[in-house]
Chain A
Amino acid sequence: MTRTTARSARSTIALAALLAGAATLDAQQPNLDFTVSGTSTIRGWTCTVKGTMTVTPGPGGGVAMPGFASGVKSATVRVPVKAFTCPNAEMTEHLMQAMKPDQFPEIVYQIEKYELAGDRAQASGTMTIQGRSQPVTLPVVIKASGNGVALEGSTRLDMTAYGVEPPVVMLGMLKVGPQIRIEFKGLVTP
């Protein structure tokens, strides 16, 4: 993992604290809330899921900090597809049909590098959905919060770029739009 620009020492420390803190978490313990929103020919929709962020420590150009001197090798966000919940059972079922969780149980975002500006980071990495990978760059707001680090970010994706067919139900009367918005929010405690 490489850090391409360091404009703010404070944010650098915050991001490093975030990554370092996540590394100490139990890998199975969800620490991020994900919200996925989209449109349809009827109304907008939102589904939610809890995911995890894990960090592999080690040399790789990451930021040194007390207790984490060797830097960060990689950071990975994982979202369990089967855990998605939508406002009603029908919607959840439609989502599951589109996402095929038995074949593709996770959505994975592998962060490969980041840039810093104030309390904002621009994370770049690879998003993998249904076995297809695409480069994704997204802004992340990082703030110290109590003993941990709060992070918040969002991005927009086109489902079809990952081979996901937007649900079409009721003989085509209801069509889900291909563009979705992903928001995530979490608190990582070192």
Chain B
Amino acid sequence: MPTPTARTTAAVTRESRRRFFRFLAASPLLALAYPALAADWRQAIDREDGHLATHHGLPARTLCPECGQVMTYQQQAGGTALPGANALDDQFGGQLIESVDEAVNVWDFERVANANNLPVHWAYLHMGVDDLETRVANREGFMRLQLRPRRLGANVAKLDTSVSLFGRRWDTPLFLCPVAALEAYHTEGESGAARAARARGILQIQSHQSSQSYEQIAEARGEPHWFQLYANADWGITERTIKKVAGLGCPVMVWTIDLLGGSNRELNRRALGREGYTGALCQNCHNHRPDYRRPMHRGVDGPAGPRHPFDWDYVKRLKDATPMKVVLKGIVTREEAELAVEHGADGLYVSNHGGRAENSLRSTIDCLPEVVAGVRGRVPVFIDSGVRRGADIFKALALGADAVGIGRPYVWGLGAFGQPGVDKVIEILLDEFRLVMRQTRTTAIDQIGSQFVMEGKVPIMTRQNRLGFGL
């Protein structure tokens, strides 16, 4: 925790910075200088300008109909006095924090990560399929679920948030989802996330598309971790990959099946096609050199194997090839939940890939109850996509999940501040989660059930999510 002095200093610094950008936003010369400013300056000015415009009911950053140049709100409003910044703007519109100590919720890392990262990398992280509707649905799903608290009851001074997964005890049900190429957002990459997860005693799943090798991440973590697999059409490559990670001590393999049909990632395609994208920049940051292969794709070449169809027999094929537990990631229906368990899946993972698979317009929290019903307690159920609050973790557990994953939030933390950012994101979510446990008078995970939630008619969404921020 920062000292009162440090906190005061940070607040003064933040206010000074805001006053400066507010001054720039009001400058008549801004329109001339704006294109040459650094991205984070433009964003800070936009933010202040937007606050002022909103305050006066005017659109921000509109074009002058006569000269075609960008007009600030000040120019539109004819020199209206600047109102003071307020906490409401920061709460619902986001802010550019300057240290992890300033973060109040996970979205406080989103704007910083955006400002700190290459636009094409940001687009990859930010995008959902089509127009991000399923990303929106993921949030709306959680925001439609209401909590039913308890006022009196068990002593909640001491909470046990631990869960058991495949015989291993974890400190909390929260886990870090597999996300590709984390070095694109910070040089610490997966190892930075691993150190934060290790310190908090939570599970981490490595992406098959990671920037760093299994060995590097396990070393940072201090123990083997779970691995997410994209099965190759060539069974020989898949089998060698499986044997490689199993040989390194990986206890659980998560097979992603939600992208086998492809996905329409329009924002990503637009970002790659823009003038601002250059291969040279990407070479600098995550080594996309001509012969570059991501670490988990190295050393698995060999004789071509058969090309088995991705059907239910494939689950048995995977299980026969490894002693690792096999979890299927992407199950969202009861029918497939039943089939998956019947075909030997050791666990099911409810996911729509963070709104990046099919544009189902259906949130994972809406899918969870039917998957849980199909599983009937035979194997653990995991969930991700749209988890942004400790209350979301609670709601997912209440509807039958055994563990709850976050993707983008911890990558925002990583992209903003490296390992300390990931650590703070985890801390915020767990603090929020424990708060809800106290509000519901639950002292252990197994006490959290469906009696604590009910479905509302409509989602209550208050955060501004223009351009997908705040989702």
- Residue numbers of A with Cβ under 8 A of B are 37, 39-46, 86-88, 90-91, 117, 120, 122, 139, 156, 170, 173-175, 177, 179, 181, 183
Contact = CB atoms under 8 A, between A and B. Distances in A.
Contact of B281 (A37, A42, A156): A42
Nearest to A122: B3
A131 B334 CA distance: 68
Given A170-B280, A179-B98, 15 more contacts: A37-B417, A37-B418, A40-B116, A42-B117, A43-B121, A44-B186, A44-B414, A44-B416, A46-B419, A122-B3, A139-B3, A170-B281, A174-B281, A175-B38, A181-B420
B284 A41 contact: no
A173 B280 contact: yes
B184 interface: yes
Contacts, number: 75
Contacts of B38: 41, 175
B299 to A, nearest CB: 21
Contacts of A156: 98-99
Contacts of B116: 39-40, 43-44, 177
B278 A86 contact: no
B417 A181 contact: yes
Contact of A117 (B3, B278, B284): B3
Question: Which of B38, B99, B186: most chain A CB closer than 10 A?
Answer: B186
Contact of A43 (B98, B280, B285, B420): B285
B2 A139 contact: yes
A39 B6 CA distance: 22
B160 to A, nearest CB: 26
A43 B185 contact: yes
11 contacts: A43-B116, A43-B118, A43-B121, A43-B184, A44-B187, A87-B187, A139-B6, A156-B99, A173-B280, A181-B417, A181-B420
A2 to B, nearest CB: 18
Interface residues of B, number: 33
Contacts of B118: 41-43
Given A41-B39, A41-B118, A170-B281, A120 B3 contact: yes
A86 B284 CA distance: 13
A44 B417 contact: yes
A46 B192 contact: yes
Contacts of B98: 156, 179
Interface string B164-203: 0000000000000000000111111000100000000000
B3 A46 contact: no
A41 B41 CA distance: 12
A42 B186 contact: no
Given A90-B284, A156-B99, A174-B284, A43 B186 contact: yes
B147 to A, nearest CB: 36
B187 A43 contact: yes
A173 B417 CA distance: 21
Question: Which of A44, A45, A156, A183: most chain B CB closer than 10 A?
Answer: A44
B5 interface: yes
A70 to B, nearest CB: 30
B415 interface: yes
A68 to B, nearest CB: 27
